[in-house]
Structure 1
Amino acid sequence: MGLYMPLFKCSTTLRTLTQLHAHLLVTALHKDALASTKLIESYSQMGDLQASKSIFRTFHSPDSFMWGMLLKSHVWSGSYEGAINLYHQMFCQQIQFNAYTFPSVLRACSGFGDLSVGERVHGRVIKSGFDMDPVVETSLLSMYGELGYLDSACKVFDEMPLRDLVSWSSIISCNVGNGKIIEGLDTFRCMVSEGVAPDSVLILTVAEACGELEVLRLAKSVHGYILRMGIESDRSFDSSLIFMYAKCGSLHSAEILFENVTHHCTSTWTAMISSYNQGGYFQEALAVFASMRNTDVEPNSVTMMVILRSCTNLGLLREGKSVHCVVIKNELDTNLDCLGPTLLELYAGAAKHDHCEKILHEVGGRGIVVWNTLISVYAQKGLLKEALVLFVRMQKQGLMPDSFSLASSLSASGNEGMFQLGLQIHGHVIKRPFMDEYVLNALIDMYSKCGFVDLAYMIFDKMEPKGVVTWNSMICGLSQNGYSTKAISLFDLMYLTCLEIGDVAFVGVIQACTHLGFLEKGKWIHHKVITFGVRKDLYIETALVDMYAKCGDLQTARRVFDNMSERSLVSWSTLLSSYGVHACSHAGCVKEGMLFFSSVRDFGIEPKIEHFACIVDLLSRAGDLDGAYKIIKSMPFPAGASIWGSLLNGCRIHQRLDIAKNIRSELLNIQTDDTGYYTLLSNIYAEGGEWNEFRKVRSMMKCTGLKKVPAYSVLQLGKKAYRFGAGDASHSQTKDTHRYIDNFQRFSQEEVNNVQPHCSLHDTSSYSEYNYSSSYSIV
C-alpha cells in the first residue's frame, strides 16, 4: 500500500482519482482499510461525497478511523445534517470515538445550527475523557461562539489549562463574530501581554475588528503594532489594512496605502474598489476597475461581485450586464455560487423579474442564500406579495428558512397586513427555534404594523439584552399606532440607559410629539439630535418641520426647512400642508395658497394627492366649493376619503347641502376605515333632514364594525404629557381629582344657598336648578 500513497497526492483531478480507484479494485487493494480511507478522503476533497459514501458502504467492517474520515467528508461537503446522523449511527453501533471525531461533529452542529445536539456532544466529550484535549476544547468554544452562545464559549476558554495561539484566535474570532468588538480587542491585548505572538491570520481578524468599530485612532494603533513587531506583510494583509482604513472613514489613508503597494494583485485592487463602495463613491469604484482592466492583473469572482454592487447602487443596468458577460466569458463563477445573490440584487433593483427567475432556477436548488437575497430585495422594493410567494416556494423545494429569510418575510407580512401568515411564521420561529435578536426585532415590527402593539410589547419586554434596533422598533411601533405618550416614555428610558440613539428612534419620538402637540418635548429632542451629533438626515429634518408646524411654531418649521441639505417630495408636501393650515386655509388666504400650489411644479415636483388635498381643503373652508369640486374632477387620479371629506366639511360650514346631494353617488362609493368621514356625512344628512340617508350611513358603519374614535385632550405639566378622554379613569390621581371637584361643587352650592335669600328679585319658591344664574344679579 505504501507504494500507492504518493499516487493519492498526485491525483489532482476526479478523472485520475477514478483511474486509481479502478486500479485498486483490480489489485484487490480496495479491501485494505487504509487504502479505502484514503479514497474516501480524496473523493471528499474533490467534492464527490456520493463516491465516498459508496466506498464506505462496500467495506465489510469499517474501523473508527474510516468512520471519522466519512464524518469529516460530510462536513467538508457542507452536509452537516448528514454528519450529525452519522455521529448518531456511530453511537448506536458503539463505534469508539477518538479525538478526531469530536471536532468534525462539533463543526457540523455549528453549521447546522443545532445547539441541543452540540450540548449533548459536549457531554459525551466529558464522559469520554477528551475534555482536556486542546483541539477538542478549541472546537467546543468555536461551536458555542458560532451559534451565538458567547458565555458558554468563554467558560470553555476560561477552563482550558493550556491556551495556545489557536485557542486565543478562536475566542477572539468568537467575540468579533458576535459583535463584541471591544471584548475581542481586549482579549487580544491580554494575549499579547501573556507573551503569545499573533500570526498574520489573527492580525487580519483584529484589523477587521478595528474596521467594524470605526475608530481611526485604534486602527492606526494596530497598524503601528504591525510595523513595530515586523509582522511579515503579504498581499491579503495589505488588502485588509486598506479596507480597515476605509471602514474607519479615512479613505485618504486607504488611498495612500494602496498607492504605496509595490506589486498590486487582485486582492489589493478589489480592496480599493470595495473601499470606494464603502464610502458611497461608486463612480470612483468604476474608475479603479477600469484602471485594473488596463493592467495584467485579472479580476476574480469577488472583484466582479464588488463592481456589480457599484453598478446596482448607480442603477447602471447596461454596465451591470456587461460585467455579467465578462463573468460568463471568463468562466469566473460557472455555478454562480458567489455572484448569484449580487446579480439578483442588480436585476431585481431594475425590475427585471425574468432575469431573477432564471438565476433562481439555476442556483436556487443549491442553497438558501439566493432565496434570502431575492426575498429581501423584493421586500425592500415594496414587492411584498412577491416576497411572500418566494418564501413559500423556497420551503416547497425543501429548503428550511434561516433567521434572515424569516426576518425578511415577517417584515413583508407586516407591510402587506397579512397577519395570519405572520402568525404562522412566528409559530415556525418558536418550533425551530430562531430566537435571535434579528428575528425578534422583525416580530416586533410585524406586530406593530398589523396593529397588535400589545403582542409587540410583550416580545420587547421579554428580550434581554435589548439592542438599539429593538428599542427603535418598539418606539416607532408605539408612535405609529397612536401610543404617543408611551413612545415618549420609552424614549426617555432609552436615553437614561445611555444607549446609542440613532435616526429611527429620533424620527419615532418626534412623530409622537407631533401627535400630542408636545412642543416643549419636541424642542428638547431637537436639542438632543444636535448634541448627539446625528448626521444630517432627511427623515429627521422632515419630521421636525412637521412637528414644529403642527405644534404652532411655523417660524421654526420654516427655519428647519431652509437649513435642510436636501429636500424630498415629502419635505415640500409637509411645508405646503403647514402653510395650508396656518397661513392659508384657516386664515382664508386663497390667493397665497393657490400661489404655493402652482409653484410646486416650478421645483420639478408633480402634484400628488397630498397637494390636492391641501388645496381642496383651502377652497372648501373659504367657501369656493364649486372651485374645489372642479379641482377634484381635474385630478389625474381618483379622490380618496380625505379629499371628499374636506369638500363635505366645506358644505356643512357654508350650508351648501345642494353640492352634497349632487355628489351623493360618488360619496357612497368611497371605501375607507376613517370614521370621521362617515360621521361628517351622517351629520350633513341629519342637518338637512335626510333621516333615511342618515340611518343608511350609520347602518353602514355598524356593518363594517367601525366606531367613532373618542376625542381626548392632552395636558402638559412640566416635562410630562397627560392624555384624558371622556370617562377615562386610568390616571393615578383620578380619585383625588374627582374628590376635589365634588368638594368644590359642594362649596359652591353652599355659597349659592347663603347668597340667594339676600339677592333674590323673585320668590324663592320659584327657584329651580335651571335659574341659578339669575340669583347672582346684584341690585
Structure 2
Amino acid sequence: MLLNRHLRSIYFDIKYGIPIVRSYCNLGIKMKKLNDRKEFEQALELFHKYEHKNSEIISDVAINQALKSFTNMEDFQGGSEIYQRYLCRIEKNCFTLASIIHFYMQSGDVNRAQEIFNKSKQKTMGIYGAMMKGLIKNDMLNETVHLFFQIPNPDEIVFVLFFHACARIGTEEALRLVKKVLSNLPNSYRENSNILTTAFDAFIKCGDLLFAEKLLPKIKKISMSYGNLMKAYNKNNQPEKTLDLYEQMKFDKIEPDVICYLLLVNACSNIGILSISQSIFEQIPKSFLDNSYIKNALVDMWGKSSCIDRAENIFQSLIQPDTIGYTSMINSYGLNGMGIQAIELFNQMPRELILEE
C-alpha cells in the first residue's frame, strides 16, 4: 500500500513536472525572439515571471538573454543584480560569461570586465571576442592589439576585431602589425572576405593605399569599400584616382551610394575642369541632387570649375543654407574675381552661422 502510494507520487511528479521543465526550457527561446524584435522590457517581464515561480530551474540560456536585455536597455543596475544572483552559474558557462563581460564593457566598467575575464579558466573565442570588442568600445585600442597576440588560434571575428583596432590606431606601428598578421593568416582565412575587408580598411586608415589597392579585388564588392578608398585618394590629393575608381565601380557593376557621389564631386572640385565636372554631374541620380551635402559640394565644384552661374543656381535652391553652403558660395565668388559679391553674401550670412565658424 505504501509502495503504491510512493509510485503514484513519482508518476504524478513525472507527469506534471515534464511540462513545467519544458516550459522553462522554452523560456530562453521566447526571450531570444523578443530580444531579436528589440522588445527588451517584455523579455525581462517574462524572465521575472518565471523566476518568481521557480528560480532554480531557470536555464542558462534564459539568464544569457536577460543579460542581453539589460545591456541593450543600458540598465546596468538590473544587470548587476542578475549577475550577483546567478554568479556561480554565469561564471561556469562560456556564453553567459561572454555576455557579462560585454555587459560591463558597455557600462564602462572595464576593470570589472577585466577581473571577470582574468578569473575565467577556459577562455573561448566568444570570451576573447567580447573582451576585444569591449576594449575597442572603450578606446583601449593598444590593449586590444596586445590581447590579440595572447590568443591561441584566433577565429574570424577575432581577426576582424584586431584589424579594426589597428585601423583606429592608424600609426606606422599599427600598419607594421597589420602586414605581419595578414602575411601569416592561416590558409583557411586567406580568402575570407570579412577579414580582408577589415584589413583593407586598416591599410587605408594607416595610409598605405598601394596595399589597399592590391586587396580591393579580393574583398566584398560594396559601395562603402570603394568610398573609403575614394576618401583616402581625395585626402592625399589624388582626385584623378577617385575618378578612375568610379570607372572601376561601373565595370564591377557596383551602384555608388550618395557618399561616393559626394566624394566624386569633391574630386571634381580639386581638378577644376568644367568638362569633367559636367560629366560627373550628369551621372548623379536625380534622387541625390536634393541632398544638402551634395548641393553644398556642387556649389564648390561649379565655383572651382569657373561656372559661377550654376554655383549660384544651386546655392539659391538651398532652403536654409548652412555654414558650408555660405562658405562654398563666398569662396566661389572669390575664385572668380567677384570680391564685391563675396562681401555682400558674407554680410547676409546669419550671425549664428558666423559664430559657429
State TM-score, norm by structure 1. Answer: 0.34
Divergent runs of 4+, >6 A = 557-562
One-letter code aligned to 1:577: I
2:96 to 333, 339, 360: 339
User: What's the offset of the Cα at 1:361?
Assistant: 0.9
Q: Deviations over 1:475-509 (max 9, x none)?
A: 4123323244433443444345445x58xx54234
- Counterpart residue number, 1:293: 48
- Counterpart residue number, 1:350: 107
Query: Per the alignment, in what secondary structure is the counterpart of residue 468 of structure 1?
Result: coil
Equivalents in 2 of 1:579, 1:312: separation in Å?
43
- Counterpart residue number, 2:131: 374
More helix by share: 2
Residues 474-553 of structure 1: pairs in structure 2 closer than 5 A? 474-482=226-234, 483-499=238-254, 501=255, 506-517=258-269, 518=277, 521-522=280-281, 524-527=283-286, 543-551=293-301, 553=311
User: What's the offset of the Cα at 1:520?
Assistant: 5.8
CA contact (8 A) 1:414 1:446 kept: yes
Distance 1:357 1:458, change over 3 A: same
Q: Deviations over 1:190-224 (max 9, x none)?
A: xxxxxxxxxxxxxxxxxxxxxxxxxxxxxxxxxxx
1:275 to 23, 36, 40: 36
Structure 1 unmatched ranges of 5 or more? 1-234, 236-261, 278-283, 531-539, 563-573, 599-606, 615-779
2:214 to 458, 465, 479: 458
One-letter code aligned to 1:457: E
Q: Deviations over 1:75-122 (max 9, x none)?
A: xxxxxxxxxxxxxxxxxxxxxxxxxxxxxxxxxxxxxxxxxxxxxxxx
CA contact (8 A) 1:368 1:399 kept: no
- Counterpart residue number, 1:316: 75
Distance 1:334 1:351, change over 3 A: closer
Equivalents in 2 of 1:264, 1:560: separation in Å?
58
Q: Which has the higher contact order (CA 8 A, sep 6+)?
A: 2
CA contact (8 A) 2:91 2:120 kept: no
One-letter code aligned to 1:476: N
- Counterpart residue number, 1:154: none
Distance 1:489 1:498, change over 3 A: same
CA contact (8 A) 1:542 1:561 kept: no
Structure 2 unmatched ranges of 5 or more? 1-18, 270-276, 303-310, 335-341
Q: Deviations over 1:41-64 (max 9, x none)?
A: xxxxxxxxxxxxxxxxxxxxxxxx
Distance 1:415 1:486, change over 3 A: same
Corresponding pairs, count: 302
User: What's the offset of the Cα at 1:301?
Assistant: 3.0
Equivalents in 1 of 2:259, 2:28: separation in Å?
40
CA contact (8 A) 2:258 2:288 kept: yes
Equivalents in 2 of 1:293, 1:558: separation in Å?
59
Q: Deviations over 1:278-303 (max 9, x none)?
A: xxxxxx32124214422458653333
Distance 1:590 1:486, change over 3 A: closer
- Counterpart residue number, 1:407: 160
One-letter code aligned to 2:77: R
User: What's the offset of the Cα at 1:338?
Assistant: 0.7
Q: Which deviates more from structure 2 when the two are superposed, residues 475-484 or residues 263-272? A: 263-272
One-letter code aligned to 2:124: G
- Counterpart residue number, 1:431: 184
Distance 1:394 1:407, change over 3 A: closer
User: What's the offset of the Cα at 1:458?
Assistant: 1.3
Distance 1:413 1:560, change over 3 A: farther
State TM-score, norm by structure 2. Answer: 0.68
CA contact (8 A) 1:300 1:332 kept: no
Query: Per the alignment, in what secondary structure is the counterpart of residue 83 of structure 2?
Result: helix
- Counterpart residue number, 1:389: 143
Equivalents in 2 of 1:274, 1:515: separation in Å?
44
Distance 1:287 1:475, change over 3 A: same
One-letter code aligned to 1:544: I
Equivalents in 2 of 1:404, 1:355: separation in Å?
23
One-letter code aligned to 2:259: V
Q: Deviations over 1:700-736 (max 9, x none)?
A: xxxxxxxxxxxxxxxxxxxxxxxxxxxxxxxxxxxxx
Residues 110-125 of structure 1: pairs in structure 2 closer than 5 A? none
CA contact (8 A) 2:98 2:126 kept: yes
CA contact (8 A) 1:372 1:405 kept: yes
- Counterpart residue number, 2:8: none
Query: Per the alignment, in what secondary structure is the counterpart of residue 514 of structure 1?
Result: helix
1:447 to 200, 203, 212: 203
- Counterpart residue number, 1:418: 171
1:580 aligns with 2:327: yes
- Counterpart residue number, 1:597: 353
- Counterpart residue number, 1:359: 116
One-letter code aligned to 2:327: G
Distance 1:268 1:368, change over 3 A: closer
CA contact (8 A) 2:178 2:199 kept: no
CA contact (8 A) 2:108 2:138 kept: no
Equivalents in 2 of 1:545, 1:327: separation in Å?
56
Q: Deviations over 1:613-668 (max 9, x none)?
A: x3xxxxxxxxxxxxxxxxxxxxxxxxxxxxxxxxxxxxxxxxxxxxxxxxxxxxxx
CA contact (8 A) 1:475 1:491 kept: no
Q: Deviations over 1:117-142 (max 9, x none)?
A: xxxxxxxxxxxxxxxxxxxxxxxxxx
| Percent of aligned positions that are identical | 9
CA RMSD of aligned residues (A): 3.8
Structure with greater Cα Rg: 1
Equivalents in 2 of 1:304, 1:322: separation in Å?
12
